[in-house]
Structure 1
Amino acid sequence: MAEATLFEALTASCREDWRAYVEHGFVRGLADGSLPEARFRHYLAQDYRFLLHYSRAWSLAVVKSDQLDDLRQSAALVDLLLNHEIALHVEFCRGWGLDEAALAATPEAPANRLYTRYVMDRGLAGDLLDLLVALAPCGLGYAEVGRRLLADPATRLEGNPYRAWIELYGGREFQEGAAAMAEQLDRVAGRRGLLRPWPSSPRWPSLAETFATAVRLEVGFWDMGLAPGVLEAEGA
């Protein structure tokens, strides 16, 4: 049996928080199509703001990298985010009645601000590994959500307004990108002296706490999408 990756060990260390994230009520609403559309629009607008800060965090990963392969991988992701993914997100949002001007004018929700600033703080205060661990719940978590939803026979695809979202995160391109992130996480951990079993490392408690905090902040991001007042604010 293959030894656990660092990502697998980290998720195992906060299993209940991780389950609350990937099996959140917001995710269940996407799976069966029952999520109110006003709540999804609210989420999309906040996700636009999140992507801007996510790009900044990966730019910091370039600064924190000291090996050519990490420089290239982080820089390639920054290019993908800024020059492709954000444009695709804007186009996707347009189909939900949100143009770029509306997205740019959206006030940043406290849950969004708390999460993105935490990730930046961990990156600024620590090294590349600290930053990658703080970033992992986003990219790798969404990959797990998409993969689970596509594989689950209970997921409604036909007639589901959120089918495109599910297929995006469960699709081959996003899954391959997530796999590359997991590989980078292991590679950087090894270069910084972490060895399997991962919890035996002196750095493990700090890394596990960073990861668990970021996971809880992801839960808060979903909670934001279901927060009372979203429907009323949009007149739904």
Structure 2
Amino acid sequence: MKFSEELFDEVKEIWDEYLKHPFVKGIGEGTLDKEKFKNYLIQDYLYLKDYAKVFAMGLVKARTMKEMKFYHESIKGVLDDETAVHVNYLKGFGLSTDEVEKYKVELTTASYTNYMLGIALKGDSKDIAMTIMPCTWSYYYIGKHLYETYKDRLEENFYVPWIKEYASEEFRQCTEEWIDYIDEICENISEDEKERLKDIFIKSSLYEMEFWNMANK
């Protein structure tokens, strides 16, 4: 079994709870309160700023030029592609990115990003991959589920750009590239290291749940 498959087995129960979460279901059904979504976007935009810094630490600690290019492209994807959906929605809410950056970072957001940054500062490429991957991978997991579940009812859904972003072929490819990268760098590692890496992966997955809980308040 590939290590990525072992990781997925460890967190599938947690990720399946994301799919049942009222906030996530509200996006799919188009019934989510728009004020909640605005607040989520603000926190997620602030989260992505630090998320990109974790990738940047991966670039610093990369061992090969190929690995450096991989992290560089990932940073560009976060800063240019993923934030674009946020920016468009925020404009619709009358907020510029300059205004968003003045908002307070909520405790859950800060706790999550501080955890990732701590792992990135202390760890190596494997540790960094473990702490960032639950976000990317689970968002594709959610986006794909929402699109497949609600695709016949998306025409009037306010949240369809968000759903299509995370269910897109481009995002699928990005996720698959990261899964392949994990399997490559974690090949032939010891059982002790596997358990340590799984723990990081699980903790980041639990932080993702806390982020959804915060968004739904």
Question: TM-score per shorter chain, which class?
Answer: over 0.9
> What percentage of residue pairs aligned between the two structures are identical?
27
The amino acid of 1:220's aligned partner reads E
Superposition deviation, residue 76 in structure 1:
1.5
Residue 15 of structure 2 is matched in structure 1 by 18
Greater C-alpha radius of gyration: 1
Q: Please tell me the residue identity of whatever aligns with 2:194.
A: W
Q: Deviations over 1:27-61 (max 9, x none)?
A: 11101011100000000001110110011000001
Q: Which residue of 1 aligns with 2:41?
A: 44
2:97 is the alignment partner of 1:100: yes
Tell me if 1:202 matches 2:186. no
Question: TM-score, normalising length from structure 2?
Answer: 0.92
Name structure 2 gaps, 5 residues minimum: none
Q: Which amino acid aligns with 1:132?
A: A
Amino acid at match of 1:39: K
Q: 2:159 aligns with which of 151, 157, 162?
A: 162
Amino acid at match of 1:21: Y
- 1:84 CA displacement: 4.8
Unaligned runs of 5+ in 1: 195-199, 228-236
Q: Distance in 2 between matches of 1:161 and 1:130?
A: 37
Counterpart for residue 212 of structure 2: 222
Q: 1:35 to 1:135 in 2, by over 3 A?
A: same
Summarize the Cα distance change of 1:50–1:36 in structure 2 as closer, same or farther, 3 Å threshold: same
The answer (yes or no) to whether the contact 1:149–1:155 under 8 Å persists in 2 is no
Amino acid at match of 1:219: M
| TM alignment of 1:25-36, pairs within 5 A | 25-36=22-33
Q: What is the deviation of 1:201?
A: 2.0
**How far apart are residue 83 of structure 1 and its match?**
4.5
Look up the equivalent residue of 1:221 and give its one-letter code: F
Give the structure with the higher percent helix: 2
How many Å separate the matches in 1 of 2:86 and 2:159?
14
Trace 1:61-80 onto structure 2 (pairs within 5 A). Answer: 61-80=58-77
Aligned residues: 217
Amino acid at match of 1:73: F
Kept in 1, the 8 Å contact 2:85–2:162? The answer is no
SS at match of 1:66: coil
The 1-side partners of 2:153 and 2:114 are apart by: 35
Residues 155 and 42 from structure 1, CA distance in 2 versus in 1: closer, same or farther, beyond 3 angstroms? farther
The TM-score with structure 1 as length reference comes to: 0.85
Q: Which runs of 4+ in 1 moved over 4 A?
A: none
CA contact (8 A) 1:21 1:219 kept: yes
RMSD (Å), alpha carbons: 1.8
What SS does the aligned partner of 2:192 have? coil
Q: Which of these residues, 189, 193, 203, is aligned with residue 213 of structure 1?
A: 203
Aligned-partner residue type, residue 99 of structure 2: A
Q: CA deviation at 1:81?
A: 2.8
AA paired with 2:198? A
